[in-house]
Amino acid sequence: MLTDKTILLIIGGGIAAFRSLELIRRLRERGATVTPVLTSAAEQFVTPLSVSALAASKVYRDLFDLTDEAEMGHIELSRASNLILVCPATANLMARMAQGMADDLATTLLLATDTPVMLAPAMNVRMWENAATQRNLSTLLTDGIKVVGPVDGAMACGEFGPGRLSDVPDILAAVEAHFSGGPLSGKHVLVTSGPTHEPIDPVRYIANRSSGAQGTALAAALRDLGARVTFVTGPADVPPPAGVTVVRVETAREMLAATQAALPADAAVMAAAVADWRVDNASGSKIKKDGSGKAPALEFAENPDILATVSKGASRPSLVVGFAAETDDVTAHAAAKRVRKGCDWIVANDVAPATGIMGGSENAVTLITDTGTEDWPRLSKEETARRLAGRIAEYLV
């Protein structure tokens, strides 16, 4: 499947670097040409000679190597491949990528390229779960970089948990999926995200605490599986991901119109936290105090039910996924919502203030379908998105 494909393999400096040797062999068995780049830290774990022998290629190591620059300058090297694969991607390397640093050959190649980039992270579990690493991961995913793993497992340091490098067959599968278009290639998925803002007057509005991070991560994960994604987003705190069609809205009624305009779709993932109510007597000018001490009388009207409209409409996607943010009796309320709205799946989460989930970087969800419920562990929103995107791919394919 990889015949005529050139892969620039950047090997980071972690103990998992030794597994890059097997990865090189397997990539070449599938017909790929591998051009290896070693960071200085990677040379503490694998030797240039072993990498070169397995790749049957010159190993690039130094940004300021005059011979290398004369043969193939780093700008040309960064763009002469079909895919840049970073394996292992260490916490340090990911941080430098997220900040746009170019202080060695590897980071300069990554910054100077317009070639697709895929990371296979590997690090200690505490490093992976650290808020800084998760922020960097979110930035890289938003920038359109694909990520495979890490997985749970035993580590060289003796700890167990997420952070272990994905198995070589799984990395190969991700590379092959990239070139084949992914399991959702040819599928159109609609994703709604973020809060809605319902105006009181031109300077005030009613909203909720949704950051839009989970919907953004879902759009990125579905894109990475090859889907054509239409991303309808309210005023979120996080930027939309690259590589998707972005439709920006503000109110619930605008979101409904944009959602209906985006149909037909193969699946709809309704992750937006839509306001249930709007101010029916919103003022066209700023409401001023009148000295009486009385608050203005606001009249409310119910907003359209976007999830129910899509679930029961004539252009209904074959899979409709709703979200239920609850503060008590989470599973019971969400299961009832799934039936009431007519959607296929509901992703329920507990957003009580003590959980820190609403507006936070992690999520702990229960997936409710017609066959039962699944409680997922507390994960980063990106990992939650990848799991859900994988389930959607299984359903559609």
Please state the separation of Cα 149 from the chain's center in Å: 12
Residue pointed to by tokens 């991070």: 213
CA–CA distance, 42 with 61 (Å, rounded to integer): 10
Q: Is 133 left (phi over 0), alpha (psi -120 to 50) or beta?
A: alpha
Closest CA to 147 of 213, 214, 220, 216: 220
Burial of 183-197, coded b for 16+ CB within 10 Å and e otherwise, reads: bbeebbbbbbbbbbb
Cβ neighbours for 294, distance < 8 A, ≥ 6 positions apart: none
Backbone phi, then psi, for 27, in 5-degree steps?
A: -65, -45
- Residues marked as binding? 276, 286, 304-307, 323, 337, 341
User: What is d(CA 106, CA 15) in angstroms, rounded to the nearest whole number?
Assistant: 18
Identity at 292, one-letter amino acid code: S
**φ, ψ for residue 123, nearest 5 deg:** -170, 170
**Residue 328 structure tokens:** 């008590």
Whether 176 and 3 have beta carbons less than 8 Å apart is answered as no
Catalytic residue among 56, 156, 157, 173: 157
Cα angle 289-293-299, degrees, rounded to a multiple of 5 = 70
Its sign, for the CA torsion 20, 21, 22, 28, is: positive
157 assigned to active site? yes
Could you list the active site residues? 157
